[in-house]
């Protein structure tokens, strides 16, 4: 079958692309998603998101042994259903500080260039500044209407320790503590598929095929003409008359490029794939935010959370003179820690994450067989600068955790525990407890240098008829959770494909 556009991956970006491109009734669009059309009922329940990790709607990737984490091998969840990771994540809707986007140094991709697309994607809560916030976009986002009582105490602790507040981290003051904005609508998760795709599934020019594993890009020389895929055991193919657009994410998009012979020739040959286009940056530059937290047992009964377990968030600086906040603090109404650590059954967590990590990992081929998962190495805490930033975060979290405002809730510190007082003990805790924040980015980086994979129009270097529009194109991580930025990237990709400018 022939279509104007073939979109590979029905996650956050794919939902945007398929919906926007099919707004023109004369344009035909095929969206291919490897996972099912829908997931378990619990997917709609905001506080149940931890149960989705490792479920049937997760790709269930795993990392390589992480040398920065004492050789630990960790799960690496990615959504595998319509809506992708926006269907299984913790629903945070945050933009990074403008300085993070401006640091990319790519014309057309600075924060002011992306702002119209952030606004286009959302309907923000009432009272937000329309200069920065959207008023009629598909995603309905805002702070929790009903907050966990712990969150109020956490905000009082932040004030007690002298940290700044902001009315809107996504607005004119992107620094300080505030109520976390989430994509929760009428008490239920609103994934990108819920917001964009499902309302338009009846369009006759839009075809959505789920359970469709794309196995290869079809190349005629260096021109991408379409894709091959299979639904169950049945092979099929589709031609793209205008473009194939990869929206399979920071793991899936480089994986498919490499399976198709686009990447580092030596690495491709090692995996048994014939090189077609030499593009050594494919799969390199994997980045993720490192995440851990200080866990306290509770001195009183903890009410159940109604939202995503973290109603309060803060973006702060670990040192004066930094251009932007470099640490995110999360105040969770549950004990959150990764196995094999042991923590309390009832408690709360002050989580922290270094927002601009220096460590760089990779996604590489394990096999030429498309059903074999790629090798994923996020290289967490490999760079000593990341360890130093996380040590500063640990000390800030503990400082807030001992504030008098939390006395009514706090029993005792369990992780790392009061015995961990020396720098060596603190670092050992970080290496035992840190995990990925599941913000995989950078593996098909945007730019013009030798390591870049896509140009400023999101076209793959050296290949015509092929674009990429997902978190893999972010050259460096932005200073926040990534889903809101992926929405903006996808909205901008639509304008690039259609040759139009954003309304500012």
**Which residues does the annotation mark as catalytic?**
439
Q: Centre a 10 Å sphere on the Cβ of residue 269 and count the other Cβ atoms it contains.
A: 12
116 torsion bin: left (phi>0), alpha (psi -120 to 50), beta (else) = alpha
DSSP 68: G
3-state secondary structure of 492: helix
Nearest CA among 333, 395, 343 for reference residue 155: 333
Q: Which residue's structure tokens are 């094999």? A: 340
Enumerate residues 6+ apart whose C-beta is below 8 A from 290.
353, 354, 357, 359, 380, 381, 386, 390, 434, 435, 436, 437
54: left (phi over 0), alpha (psi -120 to 50) or beta: left
Rounded to whole angstroms, the Cα distance separating 137 from 119 reads 7
Q: Distance of CA 84 to CAs 33, 192, 313, 441, Å? A: 9, 8, 24, 15
Across-strand partners of 364?
375
Two structure tokens written together for 250: 């920071």
Check: CB of residue 299 under 8 Å from CB of residue 117: no
Residues 124, 136 contacting (CB under 8 angstroms)? no
What distance, in Å, lies between the first and last C-alpha atoms of the chain?
38
For 18-28, b/e burial (b = at least 16 CB within 10 A) is bbbbbeeeebb
Q: Write the CB contacts of 388 (distance below 8 Å, at least 6 apart in sequence).
A: none
Residue 39 CA to residue 79 CA, distance in Å, equals 10
């Amino acid at each position: 079958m022939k279509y104007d556009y073939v979109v590979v991956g029905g996650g956050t970006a794919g939902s945007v692309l398929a919906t926007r491109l099919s707004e023109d009734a004369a344009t035909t669009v095929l969206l291919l998603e490897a996972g099912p059309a829908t997931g378990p009922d619990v997917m709609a329940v905001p506080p149940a998101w931890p149960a989705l990790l490792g479920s049937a709607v997760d790709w269930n990737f795993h990392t390589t042994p992480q040398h920065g984490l004492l050789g630990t091998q960790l799960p690496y969840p990615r959504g595998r259903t319509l809506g992708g990771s926006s269907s299984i994540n913790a629903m945070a809707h945050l933009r990074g500080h403008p300085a993070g986007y401006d640091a990319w140094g790519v014309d057309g991709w600075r924060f002011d260039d992306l702002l119209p697309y952030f606004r286009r994607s959302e309907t923000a809560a009432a009272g937000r500044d329309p200069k920065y916030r959207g008023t009629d976009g598909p995603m309905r986002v805002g702070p929790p209407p009903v907050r966990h009582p712990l969150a109020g105490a956490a905000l009082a602790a932040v004030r007690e320790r002298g940290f700044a507040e902001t009315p809107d981290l996504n607005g004119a003051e992107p620094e300080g503590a505030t109520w976390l904005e989430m994509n929760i609508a009428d008490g239920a998760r609103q994934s990108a598929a819920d917001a964009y795709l499902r309302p338009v599934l009846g369009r006759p020019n839009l075809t959505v095929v789920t359970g469709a594993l794309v196995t290869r890009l079809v190349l005629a020389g260096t021109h991408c003409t379409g894709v091959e895929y299979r639904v169950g055991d049945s092979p099929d193919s589709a031609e793209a008359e205008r473009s194939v657009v990869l929206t399979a994410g920071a793991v899936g998009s480089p994986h498919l490029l490499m399976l198709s012979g686009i990447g580092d020739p030596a690495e491709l040959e090692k995996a048994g794939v014939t090189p077609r286009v030499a593009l050594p940056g494919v799969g390199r530059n994997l980045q993720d935010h490192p995440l851990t937290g200080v866990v306290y047992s509770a001195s009183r009964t903890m009410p159940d959370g109604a939202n995503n377990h973290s109603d309060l968030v803060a973006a702060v600086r670990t040192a004066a003179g930094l251009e932007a906040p470099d640490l995110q603090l999360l105040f969770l109404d549950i004990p959150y820690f990764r196995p094999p650590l042991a923590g309390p059954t009832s408690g709360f967590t002050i989580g922290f994450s270094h927002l601009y990590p220096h460590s760089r990992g990779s996604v590489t081929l394990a096999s030429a067989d498309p059903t074999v998962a790629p090798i994923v190495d996020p290289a967490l805490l490999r760079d000593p600068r990341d360890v130093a930033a996380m040590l500063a975060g640990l000390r800030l979290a503990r400082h807030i955790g001992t504030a008098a405002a939390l006395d009514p809730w706090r029993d005792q510190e369990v992780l790392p525990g009061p015995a961990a007082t020396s720098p060596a003990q603190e670092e050992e805790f970080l290496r035992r407890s840190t995990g990925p924040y599941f913000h995989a980015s950078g593996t098909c980086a945007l730019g013009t240098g030798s390591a870049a994979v896509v140009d400023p129009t999101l076209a793959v270097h050296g290949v015509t008829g092929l674009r990429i529009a997902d978190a893999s194109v972010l050259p460096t991580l932005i200073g926040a959770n990534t889903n809101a930025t992926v929405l903006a990237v996808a909205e901008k990709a639509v304008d690039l494909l259609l040759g139009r400018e954003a309304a500012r």
